[in-house]
Amino acid sequence: MFLGANSGRSVHFGESVRRAVLLLLLVLQASPCTGLALPKRLVLGLDGIAYRDMKSLQQGVVCTNIWGRPFRRQAFTSSEGYFPASRLVSTFPSTSDVAWTDIFGDRPLPGYQRTYFSAAANSQIVINGITTTMEHESQMNWQLQNNMFRTMGYVYPVHTYELEIHEALRNFWNDMDNNGGYYVYIRATDDAQHLDRDILDMLCGLDNQLQAMRDRYRKQAGRDLQILILSDHGHNHASSFKRVAVRSFLEKAGYQIMESIKNPKDVVLPTTGIEDWVEIHNAPAATITLVPLLTHLEGADLVTGRVPDQPDRFLVMNSRGERADIDWNPANHTYRYSTEKGDPLNYQPVIETLAREQLLDADGFATADAWMAATLTNHYPLALERIVRGLTRVTLNPATILISLNNGYVHCGFLMQKGADLSTFGSTHGALDNLNSDGMVLSNFTPTRDTSSKRVAGLFDDFSDVRNFRAEENGAELVTKTEQALTRIAREPFDSDYQVLSSNEVYLRVWSPQLAHLDLNAPVNVTIEKVNHFPNPQNHRLVSGPAAALGRHLTFNQPVAFSDPPAYERVYALPSDLVLKPLTEYRISGWIRGQSKSLNLFEFDFHTDGRGRPAAY
Ligand SMILES: [Zn+2]
């Protein structure tokens, strides 16, 4: 029996038709053989959903409606098949780009924020946060690409969120050639909380939509849809905010806020958004003086820094002047916490627990996992590992000092202070404490356990099926051996091939599906020209004559020979005579010759180092 879609009446078919229909259904469902299959898993990255919010929603929350009547909210319950949410402890700072990059094990980004300090270029570099797309975003099957809508998220976060969810779920059904995960990144959940919107209501709406999606999926695919929801950090929901006066504080102490570091008292303070942490880049020798000084900054909770000339020793102080050292053994992944005065992290009870359980070695070190187990529910979860990673490897240009602010204080730029009314501001994140740090992981197909941004991929097959965007899009980047070595999860051939590169050399990595049709030695033409921040249409394009001395034309046709490179990618050594103006911004663009016209492959900006060589990050 078959129910006609329009008539609603039963229609009877003969045996042969019935067999044909059955066969067709079988073909549609036979995923691995035909490739015609819906994704088996929906992986939903919800920016900034706090563990405590999801946990309370799972347990049920009593809220009050506009008429003052109490009502109960509950979502993602066990009766719907969800397991209890677990903590996903963020990076420090607990900010989006840094944490998502860590969650997916990607190569660290140049900076914590899209305005960052490049040590190689000795310059503060500004990347447009709206129009740029980071690796973790490109790896998604769906994320909001429209710049106008991304901007709208800061003004109308709930509408943008609804649009994001609607579009992501609609596009899921078009992905009929995916036997793995369908990865979605939703960013307006974070915007909504910054602007004090009702996040629990938004999550209840999502739960309803996912239930409807699961019903349809079960009917269409004949199996249950696996759902995995991840978030990158918490949100503090502080009731009011005060701006920390870190700039004037440093200036009063005789320091100069600069765009580069040339003198011992120069400091760089890259700032974007409104968050409760501060990054400071200073001459390394100044760290020892600056850390104790900054504990007097109103709003500072903890001040952490890397001890100069001791690459594996770090310093943590609190606003009461208490001080401890953190020692790191990178080879063994072990850490030691030694109090000098007081106990800034209040970790003495943790040390006692570790000692009792015989988890400390003779020198007082314990493994990262032992520290994690002992501090997961602490006020400062996984603090040693997160402070050390924050000051060394969660970004390619780590700060010399990271400040974690008290909830109720924020750091923001001057323009942001003028443009944003802090009284309408609802919540933030970035600090080291659990409110800011505890994101979450929630699944309906496997029980989860408390984990961290560094470890969560290990629980889900390293997210090995994220989208390989380099095979599908055009792009390029400058790479070096040392930065590539910081990629935690190797997914593409280059993630291990990079080892044959020379140290201290910068390479151009180009990818495009177009390259797959071309000979390995087909030329890639490149133009390098100085970025003119005050464009003069007369010399905007590269011209011959004196202006051309500022730029170069290059042809690359001899890629680095790897054993089994992907057809869509080439990696070229930059010529040794490519010396440009030192500490200057340039734009590089590249194209290949197509059948009738040239095809643009990429265009991006870079800075040169003190010798005039391109700086990769
Ligand atoms: Zn985030």
Identity of the amino acid at 525: N
- Find the 233 Cα to ligand 1 centroid distance in Å: 6
- Find the 485 Cα to ligand 1 centroid distance in Å: 25
How far is residue 323's CA from residue 319's CA, in Å, rounded to a whole number? 10
Residue-wise pLDDT tens digits, 252-308: 999 999 999 999 999 999 998 889 999 999 999 999 999 999 999 999 999 999 999
- Find the 557 Cα to ligand 1 centroid distance in Å: 41
Residue-wise pLDDT tens digits, 212-223: 999 999 999 999
- Find the 115 Cα to ligand 1 centroid distance in Å: 16
Mean pLDDT of 196-215: 96
- Find the 130 Cα to ligand 1 centroid distance in Å: 14
- Find the 544 Cα to ligand 1 centroid distance in Å: 47
- Find the 222 Cα to ligand 1 centroid distance in Å: 35
Pairing of strands 226-230, 41-46: parallel
- Find the 592 Cα to ligand 1 centroid distance in Å: 37
276 within 8 A of 297, measured Cβ to Cβ: no
- Find the 189 Cα to ligand 1 centroid distance in Å: 9
- Find the 234 Cα to ligand 1 centroid distance in Å: 8
- Find the 231 Cα to ligand 1 centroid distance in Å: 7
Pairing of strands 401-405, 277-282: antiparallel
- Find the 89 Cα to ligand 1 centroid distance in Å: 12
Residue with tokens 């696996």: 226
- Find the 153 Cα to ligand 1 centroid distance in Å: 13
Written in H, E and C, the secondary structure of 6-21 is CCCCEECCCHHHHHHH
- Find the 312 Cα to ligand 1 centroid distance in Å: 28
Average pLDDT for the chain: 90
- Find the 441 Cα to ligand 1 centroid distance in Å: 14
How far is residue 570's CA from residue 559's CA, in Å, rounded to a whole number? 6
**How much is the pLDDT for 597?**
86
- Find the 45 Cα to ligand 1 centroid distance in Å: 10
Q: Which residues contact 300 (CB under 8 A, 6 or more apart)?
A: 244, 294, 319, 403, 404, 405, 406, 409
Residue by residue, DSSP assigns 324-380 as: EEEEEETTTTEEEEEEEES-TT--HHHHHHHHHTT-S-TTS-EEHHHHHHHHTTSSS
Residue-wise pLDDT tens digits, 458-497: 999 999 999 999 999 999 999 999 999 999 999 999 999 9
Residue-wise pLDDT tens digits, 51-86: 999 999 999 999 888 888 999 999 999 999 999 999
The half-sphere exposure of 35 on its side-chain side, counting CA atoms within 13 A, is: 1
Q: 40-104+139-237+437-463: which CATH architecture?
A: 3-Layer(aba) Sandwich (3.40)
- Find the 240 Cα to ligand 1 centroid distance in Å: 20
Residue-wise pLDDT tens digits, 109-147: 999 998 999 999 999 998 877 777 899 999 999 998 877
- Find the 47 Cα to ligand 1 centroid distance in Å: 4
Give the number of other CB atoms < 10 A from CB of residue 251: 13
What predicted TM-score, i.e. pTM, was given to this entire model? 0.90
Q: 471-615: which CATH architecture?
A: Sandwich (2.60)
Cis upstream peptide for 93 (omega within 30°): yes
How far is residue 36's CA from residue 29's CA, in Å, rounded to a whole number? 7
CA torsion 212→214→219→221, rounded to 10°? 140
- Find the 375 Cα to ligand 1 centroid distance in Å: 22
- For 566, phi and psi rounded to 5 degrees? -70, 145
- Find the 94 Cα to ligand 1 centroid distance in Å: 8
- Find the 276 Cα to ligand 1 centroid distance in Å: 13
**How much is the pLDDT for 178?**
84
pLDDT above 90: percentage of residues in the chain: 80
Residue by residue, DSSP assigns 504-570 as: T--EEEEE-GGGGGS-TT--EEEEEEE--SS--GGGSS--SSGGGGG-EEEEE------SS--TTEE
Convert 299-324 to b/e letters by CB count within 10 Å (16 or more is b): bbbbbbbbbeeeeebbbbbbbeebbb
Query: For the ranges 10-19, 290-299, 384-393, 509-518, which has the lowest average pLDDT?
Result: 10-19
Is 6's pLDDT higher than 70? no
- Find the 95 Cα to ligand 1 centroid distance in Å: 5
**How much is the pLDDT for 417?**
53
User: What are the extents of the domains in the chain?
Assistant: 1-36, 40-104+139-237+437-463, 244-407, 471-615
Confidence of residue 153 (pLDDT cuts 50, 70, 90): confident
- Find the 561 Cα to ligand 1 centroid distance in Å: 39
